[in-house]
Amino acid sequence: METDPMIRHIVMWRLKAEDAEQRAADILAIREALEALNGRIDGMRLLEVRADFSREATSADLMLYSEFDSRAALDAYQDHPEHVAAKAVVAPRVSERRLADVES
């Protein structure tokens, strides 16, 4: 029996703040806003936000890793009011965003 593939939604950001204290505060605010969505959006299995420790010139500062039951669940997440509110916490703190949506 064939099942629908799981969707992985991965986002990486570079933060605007250069000051270590402000960066730490921004990471915490973003992490709290996004991880609070766990268990609140149908079809979302998992959402984690983690900070990069390598501090390489080419690395992102922060990464979101999430899993969804389907593409439809990912689409619903994008427009979900609680996710829209969380994006309002993220947007003013980041200078660059990259993402990948993949099936497995």
Average pLDDT, the chain: 96
Instruction: State the DSSP H helix or E strand holding residue 78, giving kind and residue range, or none if neither.
Output: helix 71-79
pLDDT of residue 55: 87
Q: Given a cut of 70, is residue 2 above it in pLDDT?
A: no
Q: Report residue 15's pLDDT band, with 50, 70 and 90 as the boundaries.
A: very high
DSSP code string of 85-103:
HHHHHHGGGEEEEEEEEEE
Per residue in 60-83, pLDDT tens? Answer: 999 999 999 999 999 999 999 999
What is the mean pLDDT of the segment spanning 41-66? 96
3 pLDDT tier (thresholds 50, 70, 90): low
Measured CA to CA in angstroms, residue 86 lies from 18, 19, 78, 89 at distances of 22, 23, 11, 5
Q: What share of the chain is helix, strand, coil (3-state, %, to 5)?
A: 35, 35, 30
